[in-house]
Homo-oligomer: A and B are copies of this chain.
């Protein structure tokens, strides 16, 4: 018997927890962890339940659906490692961290490949036996370049795409192919310093903390739902370059934490926000 996870999101109404736990009980599930949240603004109900059971997933889902309001979102996960593709440009720190965690089976994932617009990170990637695709954008239009990217990605059919310091803006038509499946690390505490050169912006503003934000990518650049944010203190002795160096550690930490949450099925979307059961 292995641990399984049930995720439910639907319109709120009285008796939902009782109804859901009733169906689980009937199927012999032993609930070992349970978290609910009702967003009063949108009247949406969110629940994540971990249970031990050998269940007939199809039947369970059917019965749950008949006990829940129409259009309920129901996901059953047996926490099988997710299939991920990592995209990066020239900076190594986030990619290296993910490669090490993958190598020691610390992520609930399997890296299928690394895709980059530069050859810089090929030696690092291949040390860990992961396929590396260099798809240079020189001389290509955005449409042409993304067509080449998609060609590789579609062959791999990943569950999630991780932008680990991939420094090219992706077009809306690319992004909309991966709704809720495209995770980015942004090198600032969003919404401050969105856009280019956030560390230079932060230096000029004279901030006393810098941060990083892991978020889902949506068509609005740097505006997607935030998963994790953290900051570190800085002071007047830091140049813009120093800020970017110091920022690496917090970027790496934030992305690792966001990946853990997503890959363990702990994240719901709620409009442009996230509901996270950790």
Query: How many chain copies does the complex carry?
Result: 4
A71 contacts B by Cβ under 8 Å:
no
A231 contacts B by Cβ under 8 Å:
yes
What number of A residues sit within 8 Å (CB to CB) of B?
Answer: 64
Verify A104–B127 contact, CB threshold 8 A.
no
Kindly specify which of A35-43, A56-64, A75-83, A109-117 makes contact with the partner chain: A35-43
| Known A-B contacts A17-B17, A17-B34, A21-B21; A206 and B100 likewise in contact (beta carbons under 8 Å) | no
Determine the residue in chain B with the shortest Cβ distance to A234: B229
Verify B207–A209 contact, CB threshold 8 A.
no
A11 contacts B by Cβ under 8 Å:
no
Chain B residues within 8 Å of A18, by CB = 18, 21-22, 24-25
Mark contacts of A41-68 with chain B using CB atoms, 8 A cut-off: 1 yes-contact digit, 0 otherwise.
1000000000000000000000000000
Taking Cβ atoms with an 8 Å cutoff, the residues of A that contact B are 14-18, 21-22, 24-25, 30-41, 92-93, 96-97, 100, 103-104, 124, 127-128, 189-193, 204-209, 211, 213, 225-231, 235-237, 239, 249, 253, 256, 270, 272-276
